[in-house]
């Protein structure tokens, strides 16, 4: 049995595969299907985009597919960038440009008003069934990056309960508390209930 992670993003692959390490399924990713390029995220919500990616990969491979879509919601910016987190600073923007934009947009915002959260939707699609789950992690956007691990906005996202940014955590530690790690745990409960009780 195989499941495809519907992403080319190595960091997401690592975090998702770690959270599914005890599955008997062989975990594949889009790196195993180089003919499948980037999938256009044409939805207007995280749920829609995660479903679009999982449905597309299920259709193209004939295999069960898992996709995630994540957004960073910054309260002082009215919830932006949200579903547009990936290309916030422009179509060709990378993590660096997006982080710079975040620092610039929040330059005048004091420490006690820099609350934010990562929200993640995980969708699973096979020939018969669609499942989805979500989760979030609350944090504070720092004034400068701290930490080398993780990816994306992680070095700017401080988690008060841990006194660390997400970029100061190992993949295991991040999975324990993060939007993606918790969403996968919620997905696992549904998966066990609906499909594979032996993973309990």
**95 lies in the site for ligand IMP, by CB under 6 A:** yes
Closest residue by Cα to residue 152 from 128, 127, 179, 133: 179
- Smallest distance from the beta carbon of 197 to ligand IMP, in angstroms? 30
- Smallest distance from the beta carbon of 151 to ligand IMP, in angstroms? 6
Other CB atoms within a 10 A radius of the CB of residue 30 amount to 24
**73 lies in the site for ligand IMP, by CB under 6 A:** no
**29 lies in the site for ligand IMP, by CB under 6 A:** no
**154 lies in the site for ligand IMP, by CB under 6 A:** yes
User: Which positions are catalytic?
Assistant: 69
**70 lies in the site for ligand IMP, by CB under 6 A:** yes
**b/e string for 118-144 if b means 16 or more Cβ within 10 A?**
bbbbbbbbbeeeebbbbbbbebbbbee
Q: For the purposes of burial, counting CB atoms within 10 Å of the CB of 83, is it exposed (0-12), middle (13-18) or buried (19 or more)?
A: buried
Closest residue by Cα to residue 183 from 141, 142, 123: 123
Q: Can you name the residues that pair with 116 across neighbouring β-strands?
A: 74, 139
- The stretch near ligand IMP (CB under 6 A) out of 16-24, 32-40, 63-71, 139-147 is 63-71
Residue (3 or 52) nearer to ligand IMP, CB = 52
**152 lies in the site for ligand IMP, by CB under 6 A:** yes
For ligand IMP, the binding residues (CB under 6 A) are 68-70, 72, 85-86, 95, 98, 118, 150-154, 166, 178, 180
């Amino acid at each position: 049995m195989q499941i495809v992670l519907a992403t080319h993003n190595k960091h997401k692959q690592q975090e998702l595969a770690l959270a599914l390490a005890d599955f008997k399924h062989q975990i594949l990713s889009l790196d195993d299907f180089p003919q499948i390029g980037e999938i256009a995220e044409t939805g207007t919500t995280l749920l829609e985009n995660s479903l679009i990616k999982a449905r597309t990969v299920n259709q193209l491979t004939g295999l069960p597919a898992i996709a995630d879509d994540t957004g960073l919601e910054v309260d002082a910016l009215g919830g932006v960038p949200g579903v547009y987190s990936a290309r916030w600073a422009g179509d060709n923007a990378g993590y660096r440009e997006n982080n710079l934009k975040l620092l610039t947009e929040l330059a005048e915002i004091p420490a006690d008003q820099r609350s934010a959260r990562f929200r993640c939707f995980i969708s699973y699609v096979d020939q018969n069934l669609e499942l989805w789950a979500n989760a979030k992690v609350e944090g504070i956007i720092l004034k400068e990056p701290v930490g080398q691990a993780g990816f994306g906005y992680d070095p700017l996202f401080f988690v008060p309960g841990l006194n660390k940014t997400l970029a100061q955590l190992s993949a295991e530690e991040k999975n324990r508390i993060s939007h993606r790690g918790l969403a996968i745990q919620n997905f696992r409960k549904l998966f066990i209930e609906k499909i594979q009780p032996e993973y309990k």
